[in-house]
Structure 1
């Protein structure tokens, strides 16, 4: 027997509230894609390739217009995006009670069934809200109350792995409601089984490779590969494999999901893949346990025999080819006491690159503004990026003979 609606369940006001969300609701085909800050131009290019029309780039994301096919294709093929959010509502507000009413007015049951689990997340920028947790609860209540009104049932909440993640973003006087079409963040490709303590996210790793100008077929080395994230992203790019090929997406839970269209889009992506083969991609790490993690991840991605891995101190490696590209995420002293040890190590790193990798392009990401300067190499480019909340620089060193800065001569005895 279906549960009866509670006698105390709030009802929508008989008279429309002065601020009605219908006035400002954006079309369902309007979207916002999030990404690591600094990678917005790369994301724009990917969205255009997926069939979207760019509206505007913002810090850490891109506004765009897309139909169902472009939304699916962006989720499946974007290496840079973190989430693809579909806008479903926008309204101005003056008081917190307006937010509940605005969320209640949205036709949630027309977008997904009561059998789907939900979770609400809230973000804000300069919004004068007393409690984001309270607002989150009120939006959840509004969604459930709307379902009760129409179906006499309410969806269950699953904060860990919801079928339908709902987002609300607040500015000082407005709120935008989104349905997340991705589900789990897109940097979770669906096959990685292991992570190392200093792993970077897959979308940032892909961004580093794109920014470096590395071309598939050119030898690539990550001498401090950790769990193999950069290596796997490089292999995916070299073989033109869709990063989302092994995972599920939230849009598959929505009422407007077109299974036949989705099947066709996945088939199109598979048809563009290149045959599996040995690639000139090389990785190493000093820690055997970490290298074992990388091997497990490579095997899960189907690259066990594609990429060459070894256990080695980075400073003992020799170049795997006369020329190539080195991209790596070395330690930069996030824990107390590490910086002093690294201050002795970075000059050795610079000496190793200068002496052994003439003809190579080296790219290093660092969250410490001082340590890379100890390498004694002059960076030709410094690209600002964010690794999560850490502000970093992606540094390019064109390694040619004599690129080490000469040391000042000691004063003579006379």
Structure 2
């Protein structure tokens, strides 16, 4: 790994504090408790990731005024006991042939509304409903959308390290040859560089050349990148358990005046979105600030996605910078600011940084060149 040293791991006390914070948030939201299945919420609350997501029930039961309990299959109990947050939990295991829903039901009141992690299996949720017909459920993104949104100092350090590694990746990729190579070959270079700079997981490596750049989620394929192509690069993953996500648009050879003008508009829109970041401002104002620049120039119909998304233990999570999101920005929130213009059949442009909210305004966690970069 190049770059900075790996951050110190989170401790049982860190997870204990998160569990208490989540229980308080559940009580404040009028919930009887939280039911957390394997996924990003469970990782954030306990540090535990099962070896495989299976039909066997694994569930964190978190209720105000009660000790948190992790229900796990017996064959996975030994692994669960090794999780960094395990000392903050009580483990209850169950064996094949037993009823894990009856075990879970005994930990809950017979009625009430519970928050459930978004990725819980329907198989398990429906079984709990049958066992406890007096209960009801709400997705955590709906019930507690800001649970993981405000990062502490240690989390911010991890996000900054991930952002720096993504920046180092861009500084190297801009010097490789693009012309005459397939998109998939450049994507493989991005994957390799992210890992060389410390990423343990690479989530995506978008390389979208020419007309493919008009598809914001284009997957790199066999198209050969040609001289005159605009190329959208969007890449990221996890370093130290926290995400990176950055986009830059490069050009193979000399760009046309129109291509420069569109890129300048997107860069100006990205700057306007960043400048709108400050405590107390509604999330939608970041979207409005970026979108206004593009709309005034007549390209409004070609900006076809939200301006940003939160980032943390996953690369997409609340808060979202989108019209209608009135959640105020709070110091410690981290999210992307990534306007774009997409001209069907021609080219696309996107410029993206991760930004964190500070007491004074915003701070970028990506700082590579935002001007149009010309590559070979």
TM-score by length of 1: 0.21
